[in-house]
Amino acid sequence: MMLSVRKIPVVFSLVIWAAVWEIVGRAGLSTIIPPLSRIVTAAVTVLPTEKFATAALISLRSFALGMAFALIIGIPLGILMARVRGLGRILGMWVNIFVSAPISALVPILMSVVGIGETTVVVTVFLFAVFVIVLDTQVGVAHADRSLVEMARSFGARRHQIYAKVLILSALPEILAGVRLGAIRGVKGVVIGQLLVAIIGVGELFDLYSQYFLMEEFWALVLIVFLFAFAVSEAIAAIERRVEYYASAR
Amino acid sequence: MTMPDDTIVEVRGVGKLYEGGVEALRGVTLAFPRGRLSTLLGPSGCGKTTLLKIIAGLIRPNAGEIRVNGRRVEGPGPERAFVFQDFALLPWASVLRNVAFGLELRGVPPEQRHEIARRQIAEVGLGGFESSYPNQLSGGMKQRVGLARALAVDADIILMDEPFSSVDEQTRRKFQEDLLDLLEHRRKTVIFVTHSIEEAAYLSDQIVLLSPRPGTVSRIIRPEIERGKGPDEIRRDRRYLDTVDEIWQILKQYVA
């Protein structure tokens, strides 16, 4: 019973939010805000189109590639920064600067370096995601229980075993939190990258819709991207909760 | 001091200076007899844990050397197993996997190591808790897991760093008795760090008293308490009481 009582407000606030949107939209206060019902209808009509499928595929590919690089580089770098004294201090400053820096401002510069195209978007996703992954991994490994490392050594663990069987598992909750935050930022990276490049993927659609003032389709796309980011984040959060359970006694 | 014939661990002129200039140990020379329980006893900060970790090969001494079965110690080895003060259990692993962890690191196949682990878990009295996680166990139970893990690798020497310091008194006494029982069966050499005089006198064949920092060997006492008797009788035994008193007379001077 307690659970349902706690669950009500969340759903309730969504309902109110949707109702207010609908009313504001129907009142015709602004052409920028069409009624929510029409946006949902637009989403349903946009989703099965080939144009959307192509855009989504390009965007997903950029997102997946950028995230893959962010994970492959971010996690090992974070581990190294936690384990190698000096490296953590030197690189830590840069990571901290970039984690809060407005990366979007760098995209135009990226375009002039790597060209206007998918590569720019992949690099944008990477830059949006990688720093928070590095930071969280570093914190997780640095805070790993030293006595667990000593225990593993006392039982004759070799270096790679200490990393694989103690440090990484010990830091898994923080690493996953970093990956989740990185993935959310990565979605932003796809959209911003494609918007600035403006000729591919979802960004092209956004550009198209806003130029022709197709507000219903525009908001529908916002809704779809939002739901995608939410789904990715929730999927990683679900893994996190499983891990937290085992790590709760740290 | 004459070395006993059957020495398993020799400490020769060991000194340890930590970065920052803290001298933990100076010129420690000692012998630990095979198949016996020796305790390292002394005031806090006397370097007893440092000495134990040097014997384990976890810390390198600045001077001197450790020999185990006549061979110089360069690092941790399969003939030594460590039981940690803070248990050092993997929080994400079940009791079974924790106990089998030493064997897992050695590459023993799962079926084999789990069978050994199950036996050890039963032996320390934790049968039925194989699939529990450390955060579901009490301090005393966690330390039994730590002991089972050390027993699972079948090391000759078990090094215990204040294993009972974070468990309550009843658990501690029960655990001490179980430990003595176990040692009688398994013929292990145990080196045990404690700051409890009673614990040292009750458990030990040999008590090494260390002086405050820098730790040096202050006295070696062999209580020679008859082990055949029950625990309550031992605690009323003349020799036991004399030993406690003798240790206290020495340690008293170190208490500021």
At residue A136, the pLDDT reads 92
In chain B, the residue whose alpha carbon lies closest to the alpha carbon of A242 is B92
User: What's the whole-number average pLDDT of chain A?
Assistant: 85
Q: Is residue A119 part of a domain?
A: yes
Domain tally for chain A? Answer: 2
Domain encompassing residue A221: 45-247
Got the DSSP string for chain A? -HHHHHHHHHHHHHHHHHHHHHHHHHHTS-TT---HHHHHHHHHHHTTSHHHHHHHHHHHHHHHHHHHHHHHHHHHHHHHHHHSTTHHHHHHHHHHHHHHS-GGGGHHHHHHHH-SSHHHHHHHHHHHHHHHHHHHHHHHHHTS-HHHHHHHHHTT--HHHIIIIIIHHHHHHHHHHHHHHHHHHHHHHHHHHHHHH-SSHHHHHHHHHHHTT-HHHHHHHHHHHHHHHHHHHHHHHHHHHHHHHHHTT-
The pTM assigned to this predicted structure is: 0.78
Q: Dihedral, CA atoms, A24, A26, A31, A35, nearest 10 degrees?
A: 80
Average pLDDT over residues A104-120: 81
What is the arithmetic mean of pLDDT over A108-121?
81
Claim to verify: residue A82 and residue A108 sit in the same structural domain: yes
A246 or B220, greater pLDDT: B220
Who among A156, A158, A249 is closest to B78 (CB)? A156
Domain co-membership, A144 together with A230: yes
Q: Is the pLDDT of residue A247 over 60?
A: no
More confident residue, A240 or B158: B158
Residue B105 C-alpha, separation from nearest chain A C-alpha, in angstroms: 6
Q: Is A3 in the same domain as A72?
A: no
CA-based nearest distance B201→chain A, Å: 28
Which residue of B lies nearest to A151 if distances are taken between CA atoms? B88
For residues B34 and B161, give the distance between their C-alpha atoms in angstroms, rounded to a whole number: 19
- Residue A25 is predicted with a pLDDT of 85
Residue that is written with structure tokens 């659970």 in the block: A3
Whether residues B91 and A155 touch (CB distance < 8 A) is answered with no
**Over the stretch A56-101, which tens digit does the pLDDT of each residue have?**
888 899 899 999 999 999 999 999 998 888 888 888 888 888 888 7
Between residues A10 and A185, the one the model is more confident about: A185
With a cut of 90, say whether residue A9 has pLDDT above it: no
Q: Note the pLDDT of residue A248.
A: 54
The answer to whether residue A40 sits within a structural domain is no
CA dist., res. B233 & res. B225, Å (int): 11
Q: Which two tokens stand for residue B94?
A: 């079940």
Is B78 near chain A, with CB under 8 Å? yes
* B-chain residues near A169 (CB < 8 A): 90, 92
Same-domain status, A50 and A25: no
B90 touches chain A (CB under 8 A): yes
Which among A156, A157, A247 has the least Cβ separation from residue B91? Answer: A247
Using one digit for the tens of pLDDT, what is the confidence trace for A165-224?
A: 999 888 888 899 999 999 999 988 888 888 887 677 888 888 888 888 888 888 888 888
Q: How much is the pLDDT for B1?
A: 42
The percent of residues above 90 in pLDDT, for chain A, comes to 23
Interface confidence (ipTM) of the complex: 0.86
Place A11 in a pLDDT band, splitting at 50, 70 and 90: confident
Topology classification of domain B1-79+157-256: Rossmann fold (3.40.50)
Higher pLDDT: B255 or A16? It is: A16
Q: Point out the residues of chain B with pLDDT beneath 50.
A: 1-3
**Chain A residues with a Cβ under 8 Å from any Cβ in chain B:** 145, 147-148, 150-158, 161, 165-166, 169-170, 172, 243, 246-250
| pLDDT at residue number A8 | 67
Whether residue A134 has pLDDT greater than 90? yes
Q: Are residues A3 and A105 in the same domain?
A: no
Confidence of residue A4 (pLDDT cuts 50, 70, 90): low
Looking at the fold, whether A49 and A141 belong to one and the same domain comes out as: yes
Residues A150 and A27 in one domain: no
pLDDT at A6 over 70: no
Residues of B in contact with A161 (CB under 8 A): 105
Q: What is the DSSP string of B105-139?
A: HTT--HHHHHHHHHHHHHHTT-TT-TT--GGGS-H
Residues A5 and A118 in one domain: no
